[in-house]
Structure 1
Amino acid sequence: MNPHPSPLASSLASSLTVYRGPAGDHNDRATSAVTLLGEAFTRRLSVSPVVVGTPEPARPSGWDQELRRALPTLRHMAERIDQVMTAGQAPISVITRCAVALATQPVVLRHRPDAVVVWFDAHGDINVPADTTTGYLGGLALAGPLGWWDSGLGAGLPERQAVLVGARDLDPAEIEHVTAGRVALVPPGPALDERLADVLRGRPAYLHIDCDVMEPGLFATDYTVPAGIGLEDLHACAKVLAASAPVGAEIAEFEGDGSATADDLVAALEPLLAELRG
Protein backbone atom coordinates (compact mmCIF):
# COMPACT_ATOMS: atom_id res chain seq x y z
CA MET A 1 0.00 0.00 0.00
CA ASN A 2 1.27 3.45 -0.89
CA PRO A 3 2.87 4.84 2.31
CA HIS A 4 2.43 8.42 1.07
CA PRO A 5 -1.31 9.12 0.89
CA SER A 6 -2.34 11.29 -2.04
CA PRO A 7 -6.02 12.20 -2.08
CA LEU A 8 -5.68 13.84 -5.49
CA ALA A 9 -3.38 11.33 -7.16
CA SER A 10 -2.85 11.96 -10.87
CA SER A 11 -2.96 8.30 -11.88
CA LEU A 12 -6.28 6.52 -12.05
CA ALA A 13 -5.02 3.12 -13.19
CA SER A 14 -7.00 1.61 -10.32
CA SER A 15 -10.50 2.19 -9.03
CA LEU A 16 -9.52 0.97 -5.56
CA THR A 17 -9.50 3.67 -2.89
CA VAL A 18 -8.62 3.42 0.80
CA TYR A 19 -9.89 6.17 3.13
CA ARG A 20 -7.84 6.72 6.31
CA GLY A 21 -8.95 10.17 7.45
CA PRO A 22 -11.28 11.22 10.27
CA ALA A 23 -14.94 10.29 10.01
CA GLY A 24 -16.51 10.60 13.44
CA ASP A 25 -14.41 7.83 14.98
CA HIS A 26 -15.14 6.47 18.45
CA ASN A 27 -11.71 4.81 18.52
CA ASP A 28 -8.59 4.37 16.41
CA ARG A 29 -9.10 0.73 15.47
CA ALA A 30 -10.62 1.22 12.02
CA THR A 31 -7.92 3.60 10.83
CA SER A 32 -5.39 0.85 11.54
CA ALA A 33 -7.43 -2.10 10.28
CA VAL A 34 -8.43 -0.38 7.04
CA THR A 35 -4.87 -0.99 5.86
CA LEU A 36 -5.31 -4.73 6.46
CA LEU A 37 -8.58 -4.80 4.51
CA GLY A 38 -7.13 -2.63 1.76
CA GLU A 39 -4.27 -5.10 1.34
CA ALA A 40 -6.77 -7.95 1.02
CA PHE A 41 -8.57 -6.09 -1.77
CA THR A 42 -5.23 -5.32 -3.42
CA ARG A 43 -4.38 -9.03 -3.49
CA ARG A 44 -7.79 -9.97 -4.88
CA LEU A 45 -7.96 -7.19 -7.49
CA SER A 46 -4.24 -7.09 -8.36
CA VAL A 47 -4.27 -3.29 -8.22
CA SER A 48 -2.72 -0.69 -5.94
CA PRO A 49 -5.05 1.67 -4.09
CA VAL A 50 -5.08 5.42 -3.94
CA VAL A 51 -5.03 6.39 -0.26
CA VAL A 52 -7.07 9.37 0.87
CA GLY A 53 -6.26 11.04 4.18
CA THR A 54 -3.98 10.29 7.07
CA PRO A 55 -4.96 8.79 10.42
CA GLU A 56 -5.74 11.16 13.27
CA PRO A 57 -6.40 10.18 16.89
CA ALA A 58 -10.10 9.75 17.60
CA ARG A 59 -11.70 12.62 19.48
CA PRO A 60 -15.34 11.61 20.01
CA SER A 61 -17.66 14.58 20.17
CA GLY A 62 -20.97 15.71 18.74
CA TRP A 63 -21.85 15.02 15.11
CA ASP A 64 -21.40 18.67 14.10
CA GLN A 65 -17.89 18.93 15.53
CA GLU A 66 -16.92 15.59 14.02
CA LEU A 67 -18.24 16.66 10.62
CA ARG A 68 -16.33 19.95 10.68
CA ARG A 69 -13.15 18.08 11.52
CA ALA A 70 -13.65 15.52 8.76
CA LEU A 71 -14.95 17.80 5.99
CA PRO A 72 -11.63 18.66 4.30
CA THR A 73 -10.66 15.01 3.88
CA LEU A 74 -14.21 13.96 2.99
CA ARG A 75 -14.14 16.53 0.18
CA HIS A 76 -10.91 14.97 -1.09
CA MET A 77 -12.68 11.61 -1.05
CA ALA A 78 -15.57 13.05 -3.07
CA GLU A 79 -13.06 14.38 -5.60
CA ARG A 80 -11.40 10.96 -5.85
CA ILE A 81 -14.72 9.19 -6.51
CA ASP A 82 -15.58 11.83 -9.11
CA GLN A 83 -12.24 11.21 -10.84
CA VAL A 84 -12.80 7.47 -10.89
CA MET A 85 -16.30 7.69 -12.31
CA THR A 86 -15.41 10.39 -14.82
CA ALA A 87 -12.77 7.96 -16.08
CA GLY A 88 -15.51 5.39 -16.62
CA GLN A 89 -14.39 3.13 -13.78
CA ALA A 90 -16.39 1.51 -11.01
CA PRO A 91 -15.36 2.82 -7.57
CA ILE A 92 -14.37 0.22 -4.99
CA SER A 93 -13.61 1.86 -1.68
CA VAL A 94 -12.35 0.61 1.67
CA ILE A 95 -13.43 3.20 4.23
CA THR A 96 -13.04 3.54 7.97
CA ARG A 97 -16.54 4.57 9.02
CA CYS A 98 -20.02 4.76 7.52
CA ALA A 99 -19.89 8.56 7.68
CA VAL A 100 -17.56 8.54 4.65
CA ALA A 101 -20.70 7.72 2.63
CA LEU A 102 -21.72 11.34 3.14
CA ALA A 103 -18.96 12.13 0.63
CA THR A 104 -19.03 9.13 -1.71
CA GLN A 105 -22.69 8.52 -2.40
CA PRO A 106 -23.76 11.98 -3.62
CA VAL A 107 -20.98 11.73 -6.22
CA VAL A 108 -22.04 8.22 -7.24
CA LEU A 109 -25.64 9.41 -7.63
CA ARG A 110 -24.55 12.41 -9.66
CA HIS A 111 -22.87 10.09 -12.15
CA ARG A 112 -25.47 7.33 -11.87
CA PRO A 113 -28.82 8.80 -10.78
CA ASP A 114 -30.42 5.39 -11.44
CA ALA A 115 -28.29 3.59 -8.83
CA VAL A 116 -29.93 1.89 -5.86
CA VAL A 117 -27.89 2.17 -2.66
CA VAL A 118 -27.96 -1.25 -0.99
CA TRP A 119 -26.96 -0.53 2.61
CA PHE A 120 -25.81 -3.64 4.54
CA ASP A 121 -25.72 -2.61 8.19
CA ALA A 122 -27.01 -3.77 11.57
CA HIS A 123 -28.29 -0.20 11.95
CA GLY A 124 -30.31 2.08 9.71
CA ASP A 125 -28.09 5.19 9.80
CA ILE A 126 -31.13 7.22 8.73
CA ASN A 127 -31.32 9.49 11.74
CA VAL A 128 -31.13 13.26 11.28
CA PRO A 129 -29.67 15.84 13.68
CA ALA A 130 -33.12 16.64 15.07
CA ASP A 131 -33.90 13.06 16.14
CA THR A 132 -30.54 11.40 16.82
CA THR A 133 -30.43 9.93 20.30
CA THR A 134 -26.64 9.53 20.33
CA GLY A 135 -25.27 12.49 18.39
CA TYR A 136 -23.11 10.02 16.45
CA LEU A 137 -22.17 11.18 12.94
CA GLY A 138 -22.30 7.63 11.56
CA GLY A 139 -25.94 7.35 12.54
CA LEU A 140 -26.71 10.16 10.05
CA ALA A 141 -24.68 8.62 7.23
CA LEU A 142 -27.43 7.42 4.87
CA ALA A 143 -29.82 10.25 5.72
CA GLY A 144 -27.34 12.74 4.23
CA PRO A 145 -27.35 11.27 0.70
CA LEU A 146 -31.14 10.93 1.02
CA GLY A 147 -31.27 14.71 1.48
CA TRP A 148 -32.98 14.49 4.87
CA TRP A 149 -30.36 16.85 6.32
CA ASP A 150 -27.64 19.03 4.81
CA SER A 151 -24.15 17.65 5.43
CA GLY A 152 -22.54 20.14 3.08
CA LEU A 153 -21.49 17.25 0.81
CA GLY A 154 -24.60 16.92 -1.32
CA ALA A 155 -27.46 14.48 -1.65
CA GLY A 156 -29.24 12.98 -4.68
CA LEU A 157 -30.52 9.61 -3.44
CA PRO A 158 -34.28 9.18 -3.97
CA GLU A 159 -36.05 7.32 -1.18
CA ARG A 160 -37.24 4.63 -3.62
CA GLN A 161 -33.57 3.87 -4.33
CA ALA A 162 -32.48 3.17 -0.74
CA VAL A 163 -32.54 -0.41 0.56
CA LEU A 164 -31.46 -1.43 4.06
CA VAL A 165 -30.22 -5.04 4.30
CA GLY A 166 -29.61 -6.92 7.54
CA ALA A 167 -30.71 -4.04 9.79
CA ARG A 168 -31.94 -5.21 13.18
CA ASP A 169 -31.15 -2.41 15.61
CA LEU A 170 -33.28 0.55 14.54
CA ASP A 171 -34.07 3.67 16.56
CA PRO A 172 -37.73 4.71 16.94
CA ALA A 173 -37.53 7.40 14.25
CA GLU A 174 -35.87 4.94 11.87
CA ILE A 175 -38.63 2.39 12.47
CA GLU A 176 -41.17 5.06 11.56
CA HIS A 177 -39.36 5.75 8.27
CA VAL A 178 -39.28 2.05 7.38
CA THR A 179 -42.90 1.51 8.40
CA ALA A 180 -43.95 4.46 6.27
CA GLY A 181 -42.12 2.93 3.29
CA ARG A 182 -39.67 5.79 2.89
CA VAL A 183 -36.85 3.25 2.60
CA ALA A 184 -37.04 -0.49 1.99
CA LEU A 185 -35.83 -3.04 4.53
CA VAL A 186 -34.65 -6.59 3.88
CA PRO A 187 -34.16 -8.01 7.41
CA PRO A 188 -31.76 -10.87 8.15
CA GLY A 189 -33.10 -14.38 7.92
CA PRO A 190 -33.56 -17.28 5.48
CA ALA A 191 -33.40 -16.64 1.73
CA LEU A 192 -31.83 -13.23 2.22
CA ASP A 193 -30.53 -13.18 -1.35
CA GLU A 194 -33.94 -14.04 -2.82
CA ARG A 195 -35.65 -11.33 -0.79
CA LEU A 196 -32.99 -8.82 -1.83
CA ALA A 197 -33.49 -9.76 -5.48
CA ASP A 198 -37.24 -9.21 -5.09
CA VAL A 199 -36.67 -5.68 -3.79
CA LEU A 200 -33.87 -4.81 -6.19
CA ARG A 201 -35.72 -6.06 -9.30
CA GLY A 202 -32.59 -5.94 -11.43
CA ARG A 203 -31.97 -2.24 -10.83
CA PRO A 204 -28.30 -1.11 -10.88
CA ALA A 205 -26.83 -1.32 -7.39
CA TYR A 206 -24.18 0.48 -5.36
CA LEU A 207 -23.14 -1.60 -2.35
CA HIS A 208 -22.35 -0.24 1.12
CA ILE A 209 -21.28 -2.66 3.86
CA ASP A 210 -20.89 -1.92 7.55
CA CYS A 211 -19.15 -5.01 8.91
CA ASP A 212 -21.42 -5.07 11.95
CA VAL A 213 -24.11 -6.47 9.64
CA MET A 214 -22.24 -9.76 9.94
CA GLU A 215 -22.69 -12.35 12.67
CA PRO A 216 -20.82 -11.10 15.76
CA GLY A 217 -17.33 -12.51 16.08
CA LEU A 218 -16.68 -12.95 12.36
CA PHE A 219 -14.88 -9.59 12.33
CA ALA A 220 -13.93 -7.06 14.95
CA THR A 221 -16.37 -4.13 14.85
CA ASP A 222 -17.25 -1.10 16.96
CA TYR A 223 -20.77 -2.40 17.58
CA THR A 224 -21.90 -5.97 18.29
CA VAL A 225 -25.49 -6.79 17.33
CA PRO A 226 -26.75 -10.41 17.62
CA ALA A 227 -28.38 -12.36 14.79
CA GLY A 228 -26.26 -11.08 11.93
CA ILE A 229 -25.64 -12.57 8.50
CA GLY A 230 -22.99 -15.13 7.58
CA LEU A 231 -20.36 -15.21 4.86
CA GLU A 232 -22.56 -17.56 2.84
CA ASP A 233 -25.38 -15.01 2.98
CA LEU A 234 -23.04 -12.27 1.84
CA HIS A 235 -21.72 -14.39 -1.01
CA ALA A 236 -25.25 -15.20 -2.19
CA CYS A 237 -26.19 -11.52 -2.04
CA ALA A 238 -23.03 -10.63 -3.97
CA LYS A 239 -24.31 -12.85 -6.77
CA VAL A 240 -27.59 -10.93 -6.78
CA LEU A 241 -25.75 -7.61 -6.90
CA ALA A 242 -23.46 -8.88 -9.65
CA ALA A 243 -26.52 -9.63 -11.77
CA SER A 244 -27.91 -6.13 -11.24
CA ALA A 245 -25.51 -4.03 -13.34
CA PRO A 246 -23.47 -3.01 -10.27
CA VAL A 247 -22.12 0.52 -10.06
CA GLY A 248 -19.55 0.17 -7.27
CA ALA A 249 -18.97 -0.80 -3.65
CA GLU A 250 -17.67 0.51 -0.35
CA ILE A 251 -16.80 -1.48 2.78
CA ALA A 252 -16.73 0.21 6.20
CA GLU A 253 -16.35 -0.40 9.94
CA PHE A 254 -13.79 -3.22 9.73
CA GLU A 255 -11.66 -3.19 12.90
CA GLY A 256 -9.75 -6.42 12.37
CA ASP A 257 -9.99 -10.17 11.87
CA GLY A 258 -12.17 -12.36 14.07
CA SER A 259 -13.04 -15.95 13.38
CA ALA A 260 -12.89 -14.89 9.72
CA THR A 261 -10.22 -12.80 8.02
CA ALA A 262 -10.13 -9.79 5.74
CA ASP A 263 -9.39 -12.18 2.87
CA ASP A 264 -12.52 -14.17 3.75
CA LEU A 265 -14.61 -11.01 3.54
CA VAL A 266 -13.17 -10.10 0.15
CA ALA A 267 -13.65 -13.68 -1.10
CA ALA A 268 -17.34 -13.55 -0.13
CA LEU A 269 -17.72 -10.52 -2.39
CA GLU A 270 -15.97 -12.16 -5.35
CA PRO A 271 -19.06 -12.48 -7.61
CA LEU A 272 -19.61 -8.74 -7.34
CA LEU A 273 -15.92 -7.87 -7.63
CA ALA A 274 -15.58 -9.99 -10.76
CA GLU A 275 -18.43 -8.07 -12.37
CA LEU A 276 -17.02 -4.69 -11.35
CA ARG A 277 -13.62 -5.63 -12.77
CA GLY A 278 -15.32 -6.23 -16.13
Structure 2
Amino acid sequence: MTVALTHFAGRVGDHNDRAMAATPLLAKVLEKRLSVSATVIGQRGSRPPTTWDEELRLAAPELREMAAHYDDLLSRGATPVTALSRCAVALATLPVVAKRRPDAVVVWFDAHADLNTPLTTATGYLGGLALSGPLGMWDSGLGAGLATTNAILVGTRDLDPAEQELVDSGSITLVPVGSNMATDLRRVVAGRPVYVHIDCDVLDPGTVPTDYHVPFGMTLVQLNACTTVLAHSEVVGVEIAELEVDDADSHSYRPAWKIVDAVEPLLLAHG
Protein backbone atom coordinates (compact mmCIF):
# COMPACT_ATOMS: atom_id res chain seq x y z
CA MET A 1 0.00 0.00 0.00
CA THR A 2 0.99 3.61 -0.55
CA VAL A 3 0.96 5.57 2.70
CA ALA A 4 0.08 9.25 2.25
CA LEU A 5 1.00 11.42 5.22
CA THR A 6 -0.90 14.68 5.62
CA HIS A 7 -0.50 17.50 8.11
CA PHE A 8 -3.61 19.65 8.48
CA ALA A 9 -2.17 22.91 9.77
CA GLY A 10 -5.22 25.17 9.78
CA ARG A 11 -7.56 26.48 12.43
CA VAL A 12 -10.94 24.75 12.81
CA GLY A 13 -12.82 25.87 15.90
CA ASP A 14 -9.72 26.06 18.08
CA HIS A 15 -10.10 27.32 21.65
CA ASN A 16 -6.39 28.12 21.70
CA ASP A 17 -3.24 27.80 19.57
CA ARG A 18 -1.73 24.79 21.34
CA ALA A 19 -3.00 22.12 18.93
CA MET A 20 -1.80 24.10 15.93
CA ALA A 21 1.61 24.21 17.61
CA ALA A 22 1.61 20.48 18.41
CA THR A 23 0.39 19.16 15.06
CA PRO A 24 3.61 19.93 13.16
CA LEU A 25 5.57 18.10 15.88
CA LEU A 26 3.28 15.10 15.46
CA ALA A 27 3.69 15.29 11.69
CA LYS A 28 7.48 15.29 12.04
CA VAL A 29 7.38 12.20 14.26
CA LEU A 30 5.12 10.44 11.75
CA GLU A 31 7.47 11.43 8.93
CA LYS A 32 10.33 9.79 10.78
CA ARG A 33 8.35 6.66 11.68
CA LEU A 34 6.89 6.19 8.19
CA SER A 35 9.87 7.49 6.18
CA VAL A 36 7.58 9.67 4.06
CA SER A 37 7.12 13.43 3.74
CA ALA A 38 3.88 15.10 4.77
CA THR A 39 1.63 17.14 2.51
CA VAL A 40 0.55 20.27 4.37
CA ILE A 41 -3.02 21.49 4.03
CA GLY A 42 -4.03 24.86 5.49
CA GLN A 43 -2.20 27.55 7.38
CA ARG A 44 -2.01 28.30 11.07
CA GLY A 45 -4.42 31.04 12.16
CA SER A 46 -4.67 33.18 15.27
CA ARG A 47 -8.17 34.65 15.30
CA PRO A 48 -10.16 34.50 18.57
CA PRO A 49 -12.80 31.77 19.03
CA THR A 50 -16.32 32.46 17.86
CA THR A 51 -19.58 30.57 17.30
CA TRP A 52 -19.64 27.13 15.63
CA ASP A 53 -21.25 28.42 12.43
CA GLU A 54 -18.79 31.26 12.04
CA GLU A 55 -15.87 28.91 12.76
CA LEU A 56 -17.19 26.55 10.08
CA ARG A 57 -17.60 29.38 7.57
CA LEU A 58 -14.07 30.62 8.15
CA ALA A 59 -12.56 27.13 7.97
CA ALA A 60 -14.63 25.98 4.99
CA PRO A 61 -12.06 26.76 2.23
CA GLU A 62 -9.34 24.71 3.92
CA LEU A 63 -11.80 21.96 4.83
CA ARG A 64 -12.90 21.72 1.19
CA GLU A 65 -9.23 21.55 0.20
CA MET A 66 -8.77 18.73 2.72
CA ALA A 67 -11.79 16.86 1.35
CA ALA A 68 -10.49 17.14 -2.20
CA HIS A 69 -7.08 15.92 -1.05
CA TYR A 70 -8.64 12.89 0.64
CA ASP A 71 -10.78 12.16 -2.38
CA ASP A 72 -7.66 12.10 -4.55
CA LEU A 73 -5.76 9.87 -2.11
CA LEU A 74 -8.52 7.32 -1.69
CA SER A 75 -9.37 7.28 -5.39
CA ARG A 76 -5.75 6.26 -6.04
CA GLY A 77 -5.86 3.56 -3.38
CA ALA A 78 -3.52 5.38 -1.01
CA THR A 79 -3.78 4.96 2.76
CA PRO A 80 -4.05 8.36 4.47
CA VAL A 81 -2.27 8.89 7.77
CA THR A 82 -3.09 12.36 9.01
CA ALA A 83 -2.04 14.70 11.81
CA LEU A 84 -5.02 16.95 12.53
CA SER A 85 -5.26 19.99 14.73
CA ARG A 86 -8.85 19.51 15.89
CA CYS A 87 -11.53 16.83 15.55
CA ALA A 88 -13.70 19.16 13.50
CA VAL A 89 -11.51 18.41 10.47
CA ALA A 90 -13.35 15.06 10.40
CA LEU A 91 -16.26 17.01 8.92
CA ALA A 92 -14.14 17.00 5.75
CA THR A 93 -12.40 13.62 5.92
CA LEU A 94 -15.15 11.22 6.97
CA PRO A 95 -17.68 11.95 4.20
CA VAL A 96 -14.95 11.14 1.68
CA VAL A 97 -14.10 7.92 3.51
CA ALA A 98 -17.80 7.01 3.48
CA LYS A 99 -18.01 7.70 -0.25
CA ARG A 100 -14.84 5.93 -1.31
CA ARG A 101 -14.94 3.12 1.26
CA PRO A 102 -18.56 2.56 2.32
CA ASP A 103 -17.49 -0.83 3.72
CA ALA A 104 -15.17 0.77 6.27
CA VAL A 105 -16.03 1.26 9.93
CA VAL A 106 -15.03 4.57 11.49
CA VAL A 107 -13.53 3.74 14.90
CA TRP A 108 -13.79 6.95 16.92
CA PHE A 109 -11.44 7.06 19.93
CA ASP A 110 -12.53 10.10 21.91
CA ALA A 111 -13.51 11.07 25.44
CA HIS A 112 -16.49 12.80 23.80
CA ALA A 113 -19.00 11.42 21.30
CA ASP A 114 -19.03 14.61 19.17
CA LEU A 115 -22.60 13.68 18.22
CA ASN A 116 -24.26 16.96 19.07
CA THR A 117 -26.01 19.01 16.42
CA PRO A 118 -26.58 22.75 16.10
CA LEU A 119 -29.92 22.16 17.85
CA THR A 120 -28.59 20.09 20.77
CA THR A 121 -25.15 21.59 21.47
CA ALA A 122 -24.87 23.26 24.85
CA THR A 123 -21.44 24.75 24.19
CA GLY A 124 -21.64 25.86 20.56
CA TYR A 125 -18.24 24.24 19.98
CA LEU A 126 -17.69 23.06 16.41
CA GLY A 127 -15.68 20.04 17.54
CA GLY A 128 -18.74 18.71 19.34
CA LEU A 129 -20.44 18.37 15.95
CA ALA A 130 -17.55 16.56 14.28
CA LEU A 131 -19.01 13.05 14.00
CA SER A 132 -22.68 14.00 13.71
CA GLY A 133 -22.06 15.91 10.46
CA PRO A 134 -20.64 12.92 8.53
CA LEU A 135 -23.50 10.83 9.97
CA GLY A 136 -25.98 13.20 8.31
CA MET A 137 -27.50 14.45 11.57
CA TRP A 138 -27.08 18.04 10.32
CA ASP A 139 -25.83 19.65 7.12
CA SER A 140 -22.25 20.88 7.44
CA GLY A 141 -21.99 21.66 3.73
CA LEU A 142 -19.16 19.11 3.48
CA GLY A 143 -21.22 16.00 2.86
CA ALA A 144 -22.33 13.02 4.90
CA GLY A 145 -22.93 9.37 3.98
CA LEU A 146 -21.49 7.62 7.03
CA ALA A 147 -23.95 5.01 8.31
CA THR A 148 -24.54 4.73 12.03
CA THR A 149 -23.81 1.00 11.72
CA ASN A 150 -20.34 1.99 10.51
CA ALA A 151 -19.46 4.17 13.49
CA ILE A 152 -18.01 2.84 16.74
CA LEU A 153 -17.19 5.00 19.75
CA VAL A 154 -14.23 3.84 21.84
CA GLY A 155 -13.28 5.17 25.27
CA THR A 156 -16.08 7.74 25.24
CA ARG A 157 -17.20 8.76 28.71
CA ASP A 158 -18.45 12.37 28.54
CA LEU A 159 -21.77 12.27 26.73
CA ASP A 160 -24.50 14.90 26.65
CA PRO A 161 -28.10 13.68 27.05
CA ALA A 162 -28.90 13.51 23.32
CA GLU A 163 -25.65 11.62 22.70
CA GLN A 164 -26.33 9.21 25.54
CA GLU A 165 -29.74 8.50 24.05
CA LEU A 166 -28.12 7.44 20.76
CA VAL A 167 -25.91 4.99 22.64
CA ASP A 168 -28.69 3.71 24.89
CA SER A 169 -30.98 3.11 21.90
CA GLY A 170 -28.29 1.09 20.14
CA SER A 171 -28.05 3.56 17.25
CA ILE A 172 -24.34 4.03 17.97
CA THR A 173 -22.06 1.34 19.40
CA LEU A 174 -19.83 2.27 22.33
CA VAL A 175 -16.83 0.29 23.60
CA PRO A 176 -16.18 1.77 27.05
CA VAL A 177 -12.86 1.98 28.86
CA GLY A 178 -12.21 -1.29 30.63
CA SER A 179 -9.94 -4.26 31.04
CA ASN A 180 -11.62 -6.16 28.17
CA MET A 181 -12.03 -3.28 25.75
CA ALA A 182 -9.63 -4.65 23.12
CA THR A 183 -11.56 -7.92 23.06
CA ASP A 184 -14.86 -6.04 22.90
CA LEU A 185 -13.55 -3.90 20.05
CA ARG A 186 -12.47 -6.96 18.09
CA ARG A 187 -15.99 -8.36 18.46
CA VAL A 188 -17.84 -5.27 17.26
CA VAL A 189 -15.47 -4.56 14.37
CA ALA A 190 -15.90 -8.18 13.28
CA GLY A 191 -13.07 -8.11 10.77
CA ARG A 192 -14.41 -5.18 8.77
CA PRO A 193 -12.05 -2.57 7.23
CA VAL A 194 -11.39 0.31 9.61
CA TYR A 195 -10.71 4.01 9.42
CA VAL A 196 -9.35 5.08 12.81
CA HIS A 197 -9.85 8.51 14.38
CA ILE A 198 -7.94 9.22 17.60
CA ASP A 199 -8.63 12.24 19.77
CA CYS A 200 -5.81 12.32 22.30
CA ASP A 201 -8.21 13.18 25.12
CA VAL A 202 -9.41 9.57 24.98
CA LEU A 203 -6.37 8.96 27.18
CA ASP A 204 -6.34 9.49 30.91
CA PRO A 205 -5.67 13.16 31.75
CA GLY A 206 -1.99 13.98 31.97
CA THR A 207 -0.85 11.20 29.64
CA VAL A 208 -0.28 13.77 26.90
CA PRO A 209 -1.27 17.45 26.76
CA THR A 210 -4.88 17.95 25.62
CA ASP A 211 -7.52 20.68 25.80
CA TYR A 212 -10.04 18.57 27.73
CA HIS A 213 -9.33 16.49 30.83
CA VAL A 214 -11.95 13.78 31.30
CA PRO A 215 -11.11 11.36 34.13
CA PHE A 216 -10.98 7.57 33.87
CA GLY A 217 -9.56 7.51 30.36
CA MET A 218 -7.51 4.94 28.49
CA THR A 219 -3.89 4.17 29.19
CA LEU A 220 -1.30 4.03 26.44
CA VAL A 221 -1.16 0.27 27.01
CA GLN A 222 -4.90 0.00 26.38
CA LEU A 223 -4.64 2.16 23.27
CA ASN A 224 -1.86 -0.05 21.97
CA ALA A 225 -3.91 -3.18 22.68
CA CYS A 226 -6.85 -1.74 20.76
CA THR A 227 -4.76 -0.66 17.79
CA THR A 228 -3.15 -4.11 17.75
CA VAL A 229 -6.64 -5.60 17.39
CA LEU A 230 -7.57 -3.13 14.66
CA ALA A 231 -4.37 -3.90 12.73
CA HIS A 232 -5.83 -7.34 11.99
CA SER A 233 -8.39 -5.58 9.79
CA GLU A 234 -7.66 -3.70 6.60
CA VAL A 235 -6.58 -0.23 7.76
CA VAL A 236 -8.18 2.25 5.37
CA GLY A 237 -6.62 5.23 7.14
CA VAL A 238 -5.71 6.88 10.43
CA GLU A 239 -6.18 10.42 11.73
CA ILE A 240 -4.81 11.74 15.03
CA ALA A 241 -6.20 14.94 16.52
CA GLU A 242 -6.27 17.18 19.58
CA LEU A 243 -2.67 16.77 20.75
CA GLU A 244 -1.50 20.00 22.35
CA VAL A 245 1.90 21.34 23.35
CA ASP A 246 2.82 21.61 27.00
CA ASP A 247 3.31 25.26 27.92
CA ALA A 248 6.29 24.23 30.06
CA ASP A 249 8.05 22.64 27.08
CA SER A 250 6.31 23.66 23.87
CA HIS A 251 9.02 22.21 21.61
CA SER A 252 9.08 18.71 23.06
CA TYR A 253 8.43 15.80 20.71
CA ARG A 254 7.86 13.41 23.62
CA PRO A 255 4.03 13.57 23.66
CA ALA A 256 3.92 12.93 19.92
CA TRP A 257 6.22 9.92 20.29
CA LYS A 258 3.96 8.51 23.02
CA ILE A 259 0.97 8.61 20.69
CA VAL A 260 2.82 7.27 17.67
CA ASP A 261 4.30 4.40 19.68
CA ALA A 262 0.84 3.48 20.95
CA VAL A 263 -0.71 3.41 17.47
CA GLU A 264 2.28 1.79 15.78
CA PRO A 265 0.37 -1.44 15.00
CA LEU A 266 -1.81 0.58 12.63
CA LEU A 267 1.24 2.10 10.97
CA LEU A 268 2.94 -1.27 10.59
CA ALA A 269 -0.25 -2.61 9.03
CA HIS A 270 0.39 -0.30 6.09
CA GLY A 271 3.80 -1.69 5.40
TM (normalized to structure 2)? 0.95
2:49 to 33, 51, 60: 60
Distance 2:175 2:241 in 1: 19
User: How far off its partner does 1:161 sit?
Assistant: 0.7
Give the letter aligned to residue 174 of structure 1: E
State whether structure 2 residue 256 is matched by structure 1 residue 262.
yes
1:135 to 119, 124, 129: 124
Q: How does 1:175-254 map to 2 (within 5 A)?
A: 175-254=164-243
| 3-state SS of paired residue (2:195) | strand
Match of 1:121 in 2: 110
Which residue, 76, 81, 85 being the options, matches 1:96?
85
Determine helix, strand or coil for the equivalent of 1:55.
Answer: coil
Cα displacement (A) at 1:146: 0.3
User: In structure 2, which of residues 160, 181, 199 is the aligned counterpart of residue 171 of structure 1?
Assistant: 160
Q: Note the C-alpha offset of 1:56.
A: 0.4
Q: Distance in 2 between matches of 1:120 and 1:18?
A: 19
Deviation at 1:76, TM superposition (A): 0.5
Distance in 1, matches of 2:106 and 2:47, equals 28
1:25–1:58 Cα contact (<8 Å) kept:
no
2:12 aligned residue: 23
CA distance in 1 between partners of 2:257 and 2:47 (Å):
26
Match of 2:79, SS state, is coil
**Residue 132 of structure 1: how far off its partner (Å):** 0.5
Conserved 8 A contact 1:27-1:58:
no
- Partner of 1:273 in structure 2? 267
**8 Å contact kept, 2:111–2:155:** yes
Measure how far apart 1:98 and its partner are: 0.3
Residue 109 of structure 1 corresponds to: 98
Cα distance in 1, alignment partners of residues 83 and 22 from structure 2: 10
In structure 2, give the amino acid aligned to 1:101. A
CA deviation after TM superposition for structure 1 residue 14, in Å: 5.3
Deviation at 1:58, TM superposition (A): 4.0
CA distances 1:119-154 after superposition (whole Å, capped 9, x unpaired): 000000000101100010000000001000000000
Give the corresponding residue for 1:6. none
Q: Name structure 2 gaps, 5 residues minimum.
A: none
Q: 1:273 corresponds to which letter in structure 2?
A: L
**Displaced runs of 4+ in structure 1, greater than 3 A?**
257-260
Aligned equivalents of 1:236 and 1:23: distance in 2?
30
Identity of aligned residues (%): 55
CA distance in 1, matches of 2:104, 2:48: 34
Local SS of the residue matching 1:91: strand
Task: Tell me the TM-score normalized by structure 1.
Answer: 0.93
* 1:156 paired residue number: 145
CA contact 2:3–2:79 (8 Å) conserved in 1: no
Distance 2:255 2:220 in 1: 11
Mean CA deviation greater in 68-77 or 260-269: 260-269
Letter in 2 for 1:86: S
CA RMSD of aligned residues (A): 1.4
* Structure 1: gaps (5+ residues): 1-12
Structure 1 residues 34-64: Cα deviation after superposition (integer angstroms, max 9, x where no partner): 0111111011001110000110014211110
CA deviation digits over 1:171-198, x for unaligned, max 9? Answer: 0110011111111000101121101111
- Return the letter of the residue paired with 2:184: R
